[in-house]
Structure 1
């Protein structure tokens, strides 16, 4: 492990990892009207007409990823072509809005799960309910959190999930054993795994100048998971999306506790270290973190790069409650789509048994179909994590962020204030309390 360890100075000069290539791949048919699937799970590809085409925009290159594999498999089955249009993540939202407004949007677009409600409010997304009803999809075969996520207060389904990434705690099992620290639980329980237990383990694992015991605040999902665990059931926003409940006492306490891992206890890397591109993953893979809170989607990276020690996953610590947050991998069909039938057929293939099996084999995220998620767990083989079944427990105990139509604006107010907390320049009470009025006005669409 020593030859993989980086000094803090060396680490700060390390390059971020990235991969991908621009591709034009074949894929996705249109659905012939009136041909419902035989089961309640979306399958796709049943009514493709050769020679049709579908366009899809993603915020990452898909070359060499499971998305490319699924698309190629679908193309082989249908003979239908799709142009994949990658768009740089840094200006994706701007380009997405511009293309929809100009009527030039592709048939399918990757959409940030945080912003589905806002786009729906602007009436820019197609309601997929007629496709679900036609194909007899009721949600019984899907994880409830994932299936219910795209459903809007109006009853519309304006997005569709092809997978999800629940949050877990990655931990360096070798480090735990060498330090004589009790291992975290391997099932979804907070017995001997409260906030205090987590902190005690982080302190025992920290070696000043060499490694840190934990990293939590680099994954924004902690803004929901830790306040909910601490007794604020709604997390960042109230269930109706009107109140900024991250400024409530229980949430403030949880945010301060996480910040104090750095500011008081010195067991978490400084904010300036973890905000560098790729830094959190690199730190864990280099053996410089004992515990690392993040979505399960980083597991493939760890399998390739965290090879000098044994690692596993555990639940996030509990307090009054114990939850995960499910980051939804979702796509939408813009209202200006030229081929909505073909768009749905591609999406139903990606989320159905054929596509879900490919995603499951890759281990990149959890398929929305329970059957395929179980398949993924049962076919993990000898590769880490040893207790991969915990991701199913994480999904069963997951929540999603409560949304409003103006969440983008609201977030722009409070995230900057949180950085003052993370950099030890302000208390969570002062920072969040001071911005509460502005955030709630933003949530109401007043500013």
Structure 2
């Protein structure tokens, strides 16, 4: 679910996994120290310092400002250790070592597999000890890191919902009604979206829509087409994207290119930020993308007005997926108490305000959502998206599974094979990979 570092102009999430997903922070190559009030280096509840492994530098962005505020408030010094390239390798190396950092960025796809190894600390002790009030957190996102045995082995600090960004001026020029301004399916179904995209498309000048570049469409559109589980079975043991309703959703999105010619060709979207550049240049009228895209668009859209709408309603539902920004405390961390205090702060209203005001992510504490600001005119739809959320089920080896089926889907997106053919071919290998430890 997480994504690639795509540009430096906008603060955002920075996982380094998928070319098709999440807009990220520009990372610095050198490690940085966020200096705060200094203190002792002893572990336990009296710790006044901690180390923090992250997949990018956090200086000069909302995350860094939140960490600075925490240091001033707590007196705990936070040493951020950014790893802007090949983070997954570094992450695994330090987690298996004898002295890991006190807090680590963890791709949400790793949580279940790493939890099974015992490498991640169960946070239930802290949650219960502090009588933490989680009533202001989105329940599904809060529960995401919980394991089948009840352990709470990671912590979602923020999230980034997906909506449809659209060019208001293009709609008006085409004489089209604008998409709904509330979470509604009225006049906004898959058929409506396709029909609208056809009317917005001007051959050689502008494409009407873009769905299949952001990998969040896999889960979202599969569920909205009536798939019971989306990409993976509820227990994470099998690959269900290959089942008929889910495969139909993949094919529907692909047909926007291969059959209706209203979506850019797959090969033309593989350069960095190709979708964002097309949109800001007025060459793309609608696209499915995350909240964290907003800073880039706000800075680079010059010649038209843009707004957001819910994803079009499928035959069965109208959900969307948020990318979840997830952190964990290693079991072997020397200063787990300090790391926990930072996690609590980042998910508080005070800490979350930094993310929301900076258009980086949405806060886990819904009280911080009051700081959402325009543009776009209907930015509040991102907050509303929380009530319409779907998340892929966890597996022990999600990354291994995706390394198999996503490259195979290129044949679909390039109009060479059907989604059913490719996903059915992929299923035995993916199912086998899900039996392995990621």
Superposed pair shares fold, TM > 0.5: yes
Q: Give 1:201's aligned residue.
A: 196
Matches for 1:297-316 after TM superposition, within 5 Å: 297-316=292-311
**Which residue of 331, 337, 342 corresponds with 2:338?**
342
Moved segments of 4+, more than 4 Å: 27-30
Matches for 1:313-392 after TM superposition, within 5 Å: 313-319=308-314, 320-373=316-369, 375-377=370-372, 380=373, 383-392=374-383
Question: Helix, strand or coil for the counterpart of 2:287?
Answer: strand
Q: Give 2:399's aligned residue.
A: 408
CA displacement, residues 277-324 of structure 1 (integer Å, 9 cap, x when unaligned)? 122222212222111101111111111112321111101111211101
* RMSD over equivalenced CA pairs, Å: 2.2
Shift of 1:33: 11
Matches for 1:82-121 after TM superposition, within 5 Å: 82-89=78-85, 91-121=86-116
Shift of 1:369: 0.9
Q: Give 2:434's aligned residue.
A: 443
Distance 1:326 1:178, change over 3 A: same
Question: Helix, strand or coil for the counterpart of 2:80?
Answer: strand
Shift of 1:125: 0.7
Matches for 1:24-423 after TM superposition, within 5 Å: 24-26=33-35, 52-89=48-85, 91-319=86-314, 320-373=316-369, 375-377=370-372, 380=373, 383-423=374-414
Contact 2:27 2:82 in 1 (8 A): no
C-alpha separation in 1, matches of 2:290 and 2:396: 25
Shift of 1:27: 5.0
Question: Helix, strand or coil for the counterpart of 1:238?
Answer: coil
Shift of 1:171: 0.7
C-alpha separation in 1, matches of 2:192 and 2:49: 55
C-alpha separation in 2, matches of 1:92 and 1:351: 23
Structure 1 stretches of 5 or more lacking a match? Answer: 1-15, 35-46
Q: Structure 2-normalised TM-score? A: 0.89
Structure 2 stretches of 5 or more lacking a match? Answer: 1-22
Shift of 1:446: 8.9
Contact 1:27 1:54 in 2 (8 A): no
Shift of 1:243: 2.2
Shift of 1:58: 1.3
Contact 1:96 1:105 in 2 (8 A): no
Contact 1:20 1:63 in 2 (8 A): no
Distance 1:68 1:438, change over 3 A: same
C-alpha separation in 2, matches of 1:134 and 1:18: 34
C-alpha separation in 2, matches of 1:200 and 1:387: 23
